[in-house]
Structure 1
């Protein structure tokens, strides 16, 4: 289980690192990956968006130039994983609707496809995932029915309980920041860890089945907390 947040660059990077680790795991074909919801900036209203650089400058009390340097450091981490990353022009906003649409995608067996497209649109392309029309197009690209996607976005309660249930579960598991990965409800991995940490965790979880209590593996990695604050690596 990996809580998913589209405004969190470490979730984008962490997903790529996890997938590299999973590809090296001998029993990878027997692993089921489920993405769970975790909101950043849940108090922000729908439609209230800001440029990421401006948000970072305000949040951390930095100049716009300093905020741009912070983004450049994160971009270097993304690019090292082979990911596209735009440091200018990206929006920041409330992610609740994206999570609701991801639950529709999960019900239709297209969750990872939509998540991958949403990350790419948000971090690498000139498409704002806080625009309903963009979300509908992404849903169609992921293989979902357009009318059904529009219906979910038009109804603020559609899949809302599923999102809240994920958030409650994350809290119960001790996930105060994301990305946060849980293996067999036993092992917890916090932050965008290197791929070798995921290989080790997968091997340990496989060896120790059945699962019991949650055990942390590795030092805490870079992450974004529920207040929307994202750690920035040192240059």
Structure 2
């Protein structure tokens, strides 16, 4: 069985949803036969990788939120992260993620994709590091096991793995994904949003038994997602 997960590094519900999926997978009897592949999705396609603006400033500027609205949203997301044992800093940075996704494709070739994604999530949300800066990004990637020179070569070459990122994004659109996280199981079942762990377990069990049945699983109230820079927070 293959599970493909479309996500973005700056999406808090992708960060939370990955942890929930892994708990759901751990409860699935056939977990040893599951291959997990992470796919690219940009919430801010074309945005510069400068890492200079905090998420609070970005959301207030984009949506006209006041301090109280921003705090309410961040408190809800922070509580959801804490419930999964994850850290969540409110002073984290926003950045364009195209280059980060290119590095994740490099990491996939080296068998380190999951490790790099975890490291990028931790740096973004738990540590509020400026992941848009080259030196910080190289440090994170090498900490996940990648070679520093190879990482710098990929960052310096705008074409490296660019087609792979765009192919992932094209597939997401073809599958009807309008937000992330978006989980596709054997191209038969789709789970949208950071659903609770039991929803993922149930979807895996249904996919294992369903043969060619195509359906969508996961409509729980607390399965939030991010789309176009906005997070749907219950």
Of 116, 119, 124, the match for 2:118: 116
Q: Deviations over 1:117-163 (max 9, x none)?
A: 00000000141211111111111111111110110011111000000
Of 57, 68, 72, the match for 2:71: 68
| Partner secondary structure for residue 39 of structure 1 | coil
Determine if contact 1:54/1:64 at 8 Å carries over to the other structure: no
Aligned equivalents of 1:157, 1:120: Cα separation in 2: 27
* Map of 1:81 onto structure 2: 84
Q: Deviations over 1:181-215 (max 9, x none)?
A: 00000100000100000000000111123xx4641
Aligned equivalents of 1:176, 1:49: Cα separation in 2: 27
* Map of 2:101 onto structure 1: 99
Determine if contact 1:4/1:179 at 8 Å carries over to the other structure: yes
Q: TM-score, structure 2 length as denominator?
A: 0.94
Of 18, 34, 39, the match for 2:37: 34
* Map of 1:232 onto structure 2: 233
Q: Which 4+ runs in 1 deviate beyond 4 A?
A: none
Aligned equivalents of 1:82, 1:214: Cα separation in 2: 33
Determine if contact 2:51/2:130 at 8 Å carries over to the other structure: no
Determine if contact 1:57/1:63 at 8 Å carries over to the other structure: yes
* Map of 1:151 onto structure 2: 153
Mark the runs of 5 or more structure 1 residues left unpaired by the alignment. none
Determine if contact 2:51/2:93 at 8 Å carries over to the other structure: no
Aligned equivalents of 2:135, 2:7: Cα separation in 1: 21
Matched pairs, number: 229
Mark the runs of 5 or more structure 2 residues left unpaired by the alignment. none
Q: TM-score, structure 1 length as denominator?
A: 0.94
Aligned equivalents of 1:136, 1:214: Cα separation in 2: 41
